[in-house]
Structure 1
Amino acid sequence: MILLGSLVNGLAIVVGSLLGAILRNISETMKDTVTKGIGLGVLALGIQMSFKTSSFIVILISLCIGAMIGEGIALEDKMNSFGLTLEKRYAKPGSNFAEGFVTASLIFVIGSMGIIGAIESGVANNHQILFTKAVMDGFLSIMLTATLGMGVLFSAVPVMLYQGIIAILASVLMRYIPKELLDLLMREISAIGGLMMLGIGLNIMGVTKIRVSNYLPGILILILIVTVQFYM
């Protein structure tokens, strides 16, 4: 079952969010300290991932073009709008439901583990990477929900869709992609994802308000550039 890893990952987020809702009465100082600790962890992960690139120029070009596309189509605004729609339906007015949904979705979706794990699920029916990611996301969703509210729970949906689609595509397409190109793509995707994780970490800590969602098209631009370079 190639979707097992994605389903387990989504279930872990749901369970973690429900536990986080129960723990929402913990003190604000504890929430703040733990949340900033999560931010530091995300920063460290982002730094680690970003150094995997073999060409920072390609990463920066992809990131900038992706940012222009993201701003042009107002990607972050659309994500926030979707979160606000869910907030009106499922949350109390004035809550930070949308922020929780967008922040958690970005944290759980961006990163090499989700991509590589989904590919492993699709190609080899091996779910170990996604099972490991599920444990990490489950614990992280507890604190995110305790801090940002039940919007975090709904992030399980894009996580399952994103990883599930990659797993299905991988099962069909990866047999036609040279291993050298696949390894190169995974390394560069991890690097550009690391830069986005840095932005997320800074946002979590309250240092910046970077519109990270608008950088996401940069991943597609990066795949295009790397593929063209590989065959030149």
Structure 2
Amino acid sequence: MTSAIPPTEAAEFAGRTALVTGAARGVGKETVALLHARGAHVVAVDIRPELDALAAEFPDTVTLSGDITLEETATRAVRSAVETFGGLDILVNNAGRTLNKPVTETTAQDWDGVMAVNARGAFFFAREAFRAMEERGGGAIVSTGSYTATVGLPEGAAYSASKGALAQLTKVLALEGGRLGIRANLVAAGVIETDFLDGFRSDSRSYLASFADVHPLGRVAQPREIAEVLCFLASPRSGFVTGAVVAADGGFTAA
């Protein structure tokens, strides 16, 4: 359950429409919850079956099941926002895929699969959202990135490269969107306590716990904490922030 929202933020997204990818669980679900609680209309996109539960929890949220690596999913999602709510103001590019393999064991299929979700899919949604926001007179695009975009991660060649690509895409969107009133920012998240790794590592719980001590705060992030930063960057409170890579990594990259 989402905790009480401070009065100053309670309606900051009133009348605005947001599209969230990877919305069914983890950071995506927390972001949907915050946007919804603060007054936004939400279109939630995911390929996982948990999307049905999200629809039940937030009955007025539009849910769309689809593969974000396909152009037609992005087109359909943005069209849904425009046709249902009259436009699109916020895109949260949150869907992601990870992979932990040494470089010598990473196959072409591995590489392409990670890039397809983290970079190509994000590009498709950003492009379609950009077009809709231009017609709207502005908007905010926020992406869930990673500290691995700027520091290396052993056994993370595909993942780190994909997040680096997402960071650079964010900067280009900021440059092209500035005069159009479109802001673009990225949250470079540290390790988050979710089930993100479950499909890739049999020891995902112990692997996740091993990261606690390498963060100066002595723990990994909770999904809500990253969702709060995403929502801040999507809100009018960050109106002069664009092209930024904002670290929310527990101090991991401070050294």
Same fold judged by TM-score > 0.5? no
Higher helix share: 1
Greater relative contact order structure (CA < 8 Å, 6+ sep): 1
Higher strand share: 2
The alignment's TM-score, normalised by the length of structure 2, stands at: 0.28
